[in-house]
Amino acid sequence: MVTKKNQYLITSALYSHAARKFSARFEVLEAGAGKSFSDILKEIILKEKIKILGIENDNLKVTEYDRISKNVKQTKHFDLSSLRILKDTDEINLIGKACEIGDKAYSQVLKKIRIGMTEKEIALELEWIIRQTGAELSFKPIVAFGPNAAVPHHQTGNDKLQKNQCVLIDFGVKYDNYCSDMTRTFFFGKATYSQKKVYDTVLESQQKAIEYIENQLENNKKPISTNVDAIARKFVTDAGYPPFNHSSHGIGLEVHELPHISSSNDPLENGMVFSIEPGIYLPDQMGVRIEDLFAIQDDKLIPLTHSPKELIEI
Amino acid sequence: MVTKKNQYLITSALYSHAARKFSARFEVLEAGAGKSFSDILKEIILKEKIKILGIENDNLKVTEYDRISKNVKQTKHFDLSSLRILKDTDEINLIGKACEIGDKAYSQVLKKIRIGMTEKEIALELEWIIRQTGAELSFKPIVAFGPNAAVPHHQTGNDKLQKNQCVLIDFGVKYDNYCSDMTRTFFFGKATYSQKKVYDTVLESQQKAIEYIENQLENNKKPISTNVDAIARKFVTDAGYPPFNHSSHGIGLEVHELPHISSSNDPLENGMVFSIEPGIYLPDQMGVRIEDLFAIQDDKLIPLTHSPKELIEI
């Protein structure tokens, strides 16, 4: 709980030791059998004469909300998560560091890929490389071979890698609580002419979205969130491919957080960090997605992921 | 959504492919830009003339609840998670299988423990052993050396294992979505006389709780939840040690679910699966916790975890 004057961390006795150790700038208060979480909230509210208590709608379960709101009549629904929409430089640097670890892990895993490996084995290899650096995964990696890549959120399984299949890898690193997210698609063996065309179209559609943002910023205009995916999607459908059904998204402490990109007319502003991730999915054949993270800083679009994007055949 | 006649799974287009593949007995409905999740709910409610829509308070965020309740006036708060309090035989067998994988992993990791290993290294080794079987962790393992074991939920860190330290390992396996949970404490080197006394007291306190349940069941009486920890805790404090501040708990699809053990006067019944986990924590010195899972079936208390509990010195 953050007030104008103080910041409190209310936790069970089980976690108060860790809370004091890792959150030195917070006053740690223990909730337990004697005094419940909402009892403590109420005391602070009375003591500091708080008029409105905002909550994070997106991070509170209904059970927890019921317990608080029964006891604390000042409770109001606020989407406090919007406070996180703008990142400061330290935060952007941490996301950048997560991206850097991801870039290195991706280049290492590429060297380990062999015929007959399963999707799960590649995912585990990638996880192992990341965790050996001391970082964590920000989500369970998606590894999809050939036709499996046509399912945008394929459930990584036990299929074995065959010659001349596309390989889609979507993964993220969590470094000091901040998340990265990146997707690359490459070909194990040779890509056919039509597969190369799919790849190039996705890459170019991402480039169109990037250029839109850059042009707006250069002309002192604010890029509009909803245009980012729309421009990429139009490029894909204009080339005769089906539209992708997923969206670019903000990222930070969580893999998906504000800003909303697909459905919002809000402008993209300095301090925002988000993905741009077009894709083409051809059912029962193949799929290609290319996803990178970007920050806007000093009215410039700064790429945070740097893994190569030219078509790779290994 | 489960009605008297049908079961529906409403999901985004991103996941409908996986949903159809893994949930064949459900009708999969796609929510998206055209038709929202709550639009679909409303259609089903009108079509099937549903009068009350229960929700899982514990698994729904306030944001999601707001979206539903705005559109669907039949919404009522129900703690549907209580439906899971009684497990059928198949479910208990799956939890038993998770426990069996855990027992094997524990015996394997014991053989790998060497002086100078960090807590994190042991945790990762354990994770690796479990995941190579195809199972997953049910939560991030706790590994605590010496004085760190005095913190019941110690944050596994980079301390190195020294001679004559106690080692507390609390971990769980997830097998086919069902969770196990077990804690063992052993000594790396020799335990002193007073450390052995601590260990024996914890073990005996767990045995007292087990005997209480067994005696009640034998006498056709229902064991009362709150007595389980109370009996173990009293044994610990009668022996002159501080009371432990954590509780035994139900387990199933989630590591912590109903029945509540510590604070409930409800009876323990056939079909319930829960932990019994007393501990003694001596700040800055050491800690011992012994945790096992049990099911009640046919009016008998069935242990699901089987790792040895006599004091181990390695």
User: Nearest-CA distance from B227 to chain A in Å?
Assistant: 16
Q: Give, in degrees to the nearest 5, the angle at Cα B85 between B79 and B91.
A: 130
Walk along chain B (314 residues) and give the pLDDT tens digit of each residue. 999 889 999 998 878 888 888 888 999 999 877 788 889 999 999 999 888 888 888 888 888 888 888 888 877 767 777 889 999 999 999 999 999 999 999 999 999 999 999 999 999 999 999 998 989 999 999 999 999 999 988 989 999 999 999 999 999 999 999 999 999 999 999 999 999 999 999 999 999 999 999 999 999 999 999 999 999 999 999 999 999 988 999 999 999 999 988 878 899 999 999 999 999 999 999 999 999 999 999 999 999 999 999 999 99
Q: Do A18 and B153 touch (CB under 8 A)?
A: yes
Set of chain A residues whose Cβ sits within 8 Å of the Cβ of B65: 62, 65
- Confidence at residue B118, expressed as pLDDT on a 0 to 100 scale: 96
Beta bridge mates, A185: A168
Q: Do B18 and A77 touch (CB under 8 A)?
A: no
Set of chain B residues whose Cβ sits within 8 Å of the Cβ of A15: 153
Option in B17, B62, B65 nearest A55 (CB): B62
Record the tokens describing residue A68, joined without a space. Answer: 């608080």
Beta bridge mates, B76: B54
With tokens 């700038």, the residue in question is A25
- Confidence at residue B295, expressed as pLDDT on a 0 to 100 scale: 98
DSSP B267-304: BP-TT-EEEE--EEEETTTEEEE-BEEEEEETTEEEE-
- Confidence at residue A91, expressed as pLDDT on a 0 to 100 scale: 98
Amino acid at B96: G
Q: Do B61 and A63 touch (CB under 8 A)?
A: no
User: Nearest-CA distance from A166 to chain B in Å?
Assistant: 19
* pLDDT tens profile B166-198: 999 999 999 999 999 999 999 999 999 999 999
Cα gap A241→A280, rounded to integer Å: 7
Q: Do A14 and B153 touch (CB under 8 A)?
A: yes
Cα gap A30→A16, rounded to integer Å: 7
Coil vs helix vs strand at A140: strand
- Most B CBs within 10 A among A62, A183, A246, hence the mutation to make, goes to A62
Chain A nearest-CA residue for B281: A14
> Helix A62-71 vs helix A37-48: angle between axes, to the nearest 10 degrees?
50
**Phi/psi of residue A51, each to 5°?**
-95, -35
Q: Do A246 and B14 touch (CB under 8 A)?
A: yes
Cα gap A268→A300, rounded to integer Å: 11
Amino acid at B20: R
Residues 6+ apart with CB under 8 A from A179: A95, A98, A138, A139, A172, A173, A251, A252, A253, A254, A255
Alpha carbon distances (Å) from B60 to A62, A175, B57, B233, B259 = 6, 28, 6, 34, 19
Q: Give, in degrees to the nearest 5, the angle at Cα A115 between A107 and A167.
A: 55
Q: Do B63 and A58 touch (CB under 8 A)?
A: yes
Q: Do B61 and A57 touch (CB under 8 A)?
A: yes
Cα gap A181→B306, rounded to integer Å: 41
**Phi/psi of residue B289, each to 5°?**
-135, 140
Cα gap B22→B26, rounded to integer Å: 9
User: Nearest-CA distance from A63 to chain B in Å?
Assistant: 5
Whether a cis peptide bond, with omega within 30° of 0, leads into A259 is yes
Set of chain A residues whose Cβ sits within 8 Å of the Cβ of B32: 245
How do A249-250 and B27-31 pair as beta strands? Answer: unpaired
Cα gap B55→B41, rounded to integer Å: 12
What sign has the CA pseudo-torsion A57, A59, A61, A66? negative
Set of chain A residues whose Cβ sits within 8 Å of the Cβ of B60: 61-62
Are A263 and A254 within 8 A, CB to CB? no
User: Nearest-CA distance from B69 to chain A in Å?
Assistant: 12
- Most A CBs within 10 A among B20, B61, B132, B136, hence the mutation to make, goes to B61
Cα gap A305→A103, rounded to integer Å: 7
Chain B nearest-CA residue for A32: B245
How crowded is residue A18: how many other Cβ atoms within 10 Å of its Cβ?
15
What sign has the CA pseudo-torsion B190, B192, B198, B204? positive
Q: Do A152 and B18 touch (CB under 8 A)?
A: no
CA-based max dimension of chain B: 71
Which parts of chain A sit beneath pLDDT 70? Answer: 77
- Confidence at residue A32, expressed as pLDDT on a 0 to 100 scale: 79
* Spatial CA neighbour of B209 closest among B247, B253, B258: B247
Set of chain B residues whose Cβ sits within 8 Å of the Cβ of A157: none
Q: Do A63 and B63 touch (CB under 8 A)?
A: no
User: Nearest-CA distance from A14 to chain B in Å?
Assistant: 6
Alpha carbon distances (Å) from A260 to A268, A283, B6, B306 = 10, 27, 34, 49
Chain B nearest-CA residue for A152: B14
Domains of chain A, start order: 8-84 (3.40.350.10), 89-303 (3.90.230.10)
* Spatial CA neighbour of B2 closest among B85, B98, B78, B103: B78
Q: Do A33 and B59 touch (CB under 8 A)?
A: no
- Confidence at residue A209, expressed as pLDDT on a 0 to 100 scale: 98
Reported for A232-239, long-range contacts at CB under 8 A and 24+ positions apart, including other chains, are A232/A205, A232/A206, A232/A208, A232/A276, A232/A278, A233/A205, A233/A278, A235/A201, A235/A204, A235/A205, A235/A208, A235/A278, A236/A201, A236/A202, A236/A205, A236/A278, A236/A280, A239/A201
Q: Where are the alpha helices (DSSP H) in B23-168?
A: 37-47, 62-71, 89-112, 119-132
- Confidence at residue B188, expressed as pLDDT on a 0 to 100 scale: 97
* pLDDT tens profile A194-245: 999 999 999 999 999 999 999 999 999 999 999 999 999 999 999 999 999 8
Chain A nearest-CA residue for B30: A245
* pLDDT tens profile A92-106: 999 999 999 999 999
Set of chain A residues whose Cβ sits within 8 Å of the Cβ of B57: 61-63, 66
Coil vs helix vs strand at B7: strand
Let me know how long chain A is: 314
Residues 6+ apart with CB under 8 A from A234: none
Interface of B with A (CB under 8 A): 13-15, 17-18, 21-22, 32-33, 55, 57-63, 65-66, 77, 79, 124, 131, 151-155, 245-246, 263
- Confidence at residue A22, expressed as pLDDT on a 0 to 100 scale: 84
User: Nearest-CA distance from B243 to chain A in Å?
Assistant: 13
Q: Do B62 and A79 touch (CB under 8 A)?
A: no
Set of chain B residues whose Cβ sits within 8 Å of the Cβ of A58: 61-63
Q: Give, in degrees to the nearest 5, the angle at Cα A273 between A271 and A274.
A: 150
Coil vs helix vs strand at A136: strand
Q: Do A60 and B62 touch (CB under 8 A)?
A: yes
Option in A57, A66, A263 nearest B63 (CB): A57
Are A289 and A301 within 8 A, CB to CB? no
Residue B9 Cα to chain centre, angstroms: 26
Chain A nearest-CA residue for B77: A62
Record the tokens describing residue B75, joined without a space. Answer: 């919404």
Chain A nearest-CA residue for B153: A14
- Confidence at residue B56, expressed as pLDDT on a 0 to 100 scale: 83
Alpha carbon distances (Å) from B99 to B124, B142, B232, B259 = 19, 17, 23, 19
Report CA Rg, chain B. 22
Q: Do A151 and B62 touch (CB under 8 A)?
A: no
